[in-house]
Structure 1
């Protein structure tokens, strides 16, 4: 036995031995990560086989770089490469746990715009087992440090190093060929990064994303006016006439858009600990003067909140990777809701209790035409005022009121709440409901922050009533994206009192609230299928704004005979009849998998899939090519960003000097209404 151990030790003390050991350890930990840290959706023997072998080619290629060196330098180089690739894997594990996707270059490029306040989120995401991805590096270092493996100083033949490089290329080519045979158009048609990783591996995905990022940057440089032809053709074929009955019913009204952070539809009427979690939102949802939608889906990608804002105010989809607000928000031409409404006599303002650079809002909002952006610079500071991503909602909404009362009417005001944001932290003095008991820390605090958000909204609504603003305003509420990801299936099943939580259930779990409330509005719960891409055309019709030649990929949610296909960013979709998750199709009415498709069903699904692919691709084309610079709707005037300033001093002076004497405070003979605003926020007492 001792002799066998000596032979193994001697073998590992050669360059070949150490190299093969490093490859084996890296392969093992990668497979471990694939199977325990990601949900790649592996189905069938072929996909399982490819997932098992795909780390080998790229690991051979990368680790093989060390074979071109000799002595100690070779070992150090291999360890550095191992550490770098392990760190990249570790970062993706953390990102995937919360966002169900992989890191991209565009996302990292914009990380400076979203990096603040991430410390608590990251701390809440990390699990001890995540650090096992560094185990191979540690093992190799220990073996070398204790001299259980000795450095081989002999010259390693360059032809052998080149042979390893050649072998890695051949193996990758074989991997790619088999993958393409199993999934045609893998690198050209996919909208889901999971497919790239499970077929080709993490390192290959990184290269793929880098190439695609470079290619997309070149698209903008090469785009010209002729690039719009396919987009205009699509618009002509798919534009839907709005609902005439509702056209202009809110003409001239103020518009409040309340962004309900991470708020999902299941919270409507949800009870816990013997009480309604969101009584104020529930009451509004069921009000006879509220148009509520119970099949309204978030359609965000990696940009999460940024994607929701982009869709809501531009009717353009977020990008497959990164956030368009960060990568294109500063330089692109947009025809957004604020710009459109500015030209119809509206004052436009966005309110957010965090730093102005978050998601590059300070630059993007100028491109969208916002007259004002009230960020954290405008709000008071104090001990305990902030949580996670900005001011607590009660403090934020009260502070926002002092600027709302100064806005010339009619105005379009968007208020972005943040307290109901992962990791759902709330100090004890603000908790008014017990945590749920799923045992999942990510899930259990969700009802506490959701209830706090609801209470903050309730206080704001009372102020609107006291000031009379409610009588001349249209209130729009929407959830921006999911609060609980599909990676918490057991906890969600318990939360919803179900035996299990399937992929189909998760697709339906992407529903978020969308409701429009206004005195005298003919309301009710509408069952049409739609999503965030449809908000802008819906609101413009209600406001009586003509919308016949704009570039918008959504349609009026109230329009008769509208296409009810809801496209998700990864190419999946939901319709009243069918739901697609990955390569699996379900009957939307009962959640059953469609295993034996009829010819009619195959034809229908192919048509829906083609439509989804086309609208996502064309929307991407508009953004990445900055195509709106080549097209201007009739009567639309481009925003002059040089005339917009979000500096506190400039904005306050502009409000004071406004020639339009229609603000709430001016109509109240110059007297503030802030004494009417009541909040029980303990921090303010």
Structure 2
């Protein structure tokens, strides 16, 4: 056919004529991966060496993996190439779908979450689009060419003597690129976008497999000596809790409410003249409200937020701690409170095995987990992920009013969960009008959750529990992914640049103590700071707790928050994506001005990871109660 080359004038021409198939598969996969990575994953490669590393690493990986097919019998080579291309397409497409909502890359530890896929089905279906067929067009063309038996896809077996140098070179190229890419930027370990930008998507999984193997082996090689550097770091940045706030909520009940996907930008704002969060706005007037409070979750999302709140440790950058390290020793808040006579519970109308909660909760010191089977759930009172928040709160109060006091209870809401479905009769506010259905639906579900909190407070008052209960409400993670920022900018009436994008990582934190006058605090903080704050308010000494956070009311506190991707926010500057911004106005400033804070943030994440991966609390003497 028309694909033939006349003659075999040289080795390159000969190789091309004999191996058009492998060259075709490599080139089409290479091109497809580059286009998708830059356009869909928004990996805006700005520097020439990043382009070269990305292209070189991806090409090296493809040469090595497709090249293995050259050892096969001729009749099996095209089948192998087609199979490999299908696998790589699935990997690419799975990440496309995942990135649409989570703006992240799938990691190997996330495979342990496969048991939760049934619960995630609503979200997955919302992410799959009809036009995604475009990602598989090349497969249709390839299958057609193979069926036509065109000589455009010719193959010929290469013997070991002919190919050992070829394969060895491919392996060396990819190994060097991965090594250089990892060393090139220290923050790559924490920022998968930058890592993939440098070494490519497929090479990332080689790297991730290496990290996965390495971290799984860490507990075997750990010992008590690992604590010395960690404690030195913590002592350097620890500040004393505010003595004036010590014990102002002593012996009170504590209800911690996880506000699913609620971000700070909705607080105090309106839509079409209607308040989006009228009750929270009202409650804030009589509470401590932290307006610069950042979520610090990783791939474990809501479970990561729970981990942060209850341990003052950072979640892992890969996977969910609840799934991968559920048998570790911890110094969790519920366990500490149990020594002070608290009854600890979690109320969440979801499958008890989701995020392995039924195993992790007892390990953290919770006495009881009220899950899906403890609630009356029907088609009438459920939507999206499960029981509607108002029904959930009403049924939860049947349990709460019977708890022995004092109690510590975590309530996890569900209705304001992606993709934000809500029956029209339950909507207290009109949807937004934009091209983003997700953004449009977000406001009614936030408003519904706000109404559920109103019901909770009213029920606490009816039960006679309100006056002796400290309410702590926090947003667990973002609600609107950056893939919807163009439409969100219309609502906010401003451009969302890098500076504004960082500020959209803020979530509400409200601490309401009946009888105590509140205020709005602007200290830069994060979920890591909640546990030391609650201990101080409850009049419990820090003792020998290992906590990366600091009391939010401390008079010596310096504003600081490091996000799980390595972004660092301080009162002076913001570090993200190898860029340094002035905190006050968002103007770009010299990168070296961010270096001390970037370095502190990197060490924070590293040391916290080390504690978890090596299960270091098993070596730590239990002196948690301090001196009363």
Partner of 1:291: 288
Partner SS state of residue 488, structure 1: helix
Cα deviation digits, residues 337-356 of structure 1 (max 9, x gap): 11111110111110001010
Partner of 1:581: 576
In 1, the alpha carbon distance for the partners of 2:74 and 2:455 equals 71
Partner SS state of residue 579, structure 1: strand
Partner SS state of residue 116, structure 1: helix
In 2, the alpha carbon distance for the partners of 1:180 and 1:425 equals 41
Partner of 2:229: 230
2:536 corresponds to 1:537: no
Cα deviation digits, residues 626-651 of structure 1 (max 9, x gap): 111111342559xxxxxxxxxxxxxx
1:353–1:375 contact (8 Å) kept in structure 2: yes
Partner SS state of residue 545, structure 1: coil
Q: Specify which of 301, 306, 310 is matched with residue 309 of structure 1.
A: 306
Length-normalised TM-score, structure 2: 0.94
Partner of 2:197: 198
2:304–2:315 contact (8 Å) kept in structure 1: yes
Partner of 1:209: 208
Cα deviation digits, residues 15-61 of structure 1 (max 9, x gap): 41111111111111111111221022422232233334432110111
2:38 corresponds to 1:54: no
Measured after TM superposition, the shift of residue 522 of structure 1 is 2.9
In 2, the alpha carbon distance for the partners of 1:249 and 1:350 equals 24
Change (3 A) 1:586 1:387: same
Partner of 1:133: 135
Cα deviation digits, residues 189-247 of structure 1 (max 9, x gap): 63111122111111110011111011111101221222222222223333211011111
Measured after TM superposition, the shift of residue 7 of structure 1 is 4.7
In 2, the alpha carbon distance for the partners of 1:523 and 1:380 equals 37
2:477 corresponds to 1:481: yes
Partner of 2:274: 275
Cα deviation digits, residues 318-361 of structure 1 (max 9, x gap): 001001111002x1111111111111011111000101011111
In 2, the alpha carbon distance for the partners of 1:355 and 1:173 equals 43
Partner SS state of residue 59, structure 2: helix
Computed over aligned residues only, the root mean square deviation of the Cα atoms, in angstroms, reads 2.2
Partner of 1:431: 427
In 2, the alpha carbon distance for the partners of 1:144 and 1:160 equals 26
In 2, the alpha carbon distance for the partners of 1:153 and 1:63 equals 12
Cα deviation digits, residues 517-561 of structure 1 (max 9, x gap): 122213110111100000000011000011132111100000012
In structure 1, the gaps of 5 or more residues are 638-685
Aligned residues: 620
2:411 corresponds to 1:415: yes
1:72–1:151 contact (8 Å) kept in structure 2: no
Change (3 A) 1:60 1:286: same
Q: Specify which of 599, 602, 617 is matched with residue 606 of structure 2.
A: 617
Change (3 A) 1:179 1:207: closer
2:71–2:157 contact (8 Å) kept in structure 1: no
- 1:238-253 aligned at under 5 Å gives the runs 238-253=237-252
2:4–2:152 contact (8 Å) kept in structure 1: no
In structure 2, the gaps of 5 or more residues are none
2:448 corresponds to 1:449: no
Partner SS state of residue 574, structure 1: strand
Measured after TM superposition, the shift of residue 285 of structure 1 is 1.3
Change (3 A) 1:634 1:102: same
In 2, the alpha carbon distance for the partners of 1:554 and 1:180 equals 28
Q: Specify which of 549, 560, 563 is matched with residue 558 of structure 2.
A: 563
- 1:348-427 aligned at under 5 Å gives the runs 348-427=344-423
Measured after TM superposition, the shift of residue 179 of structure 1 is 4.2
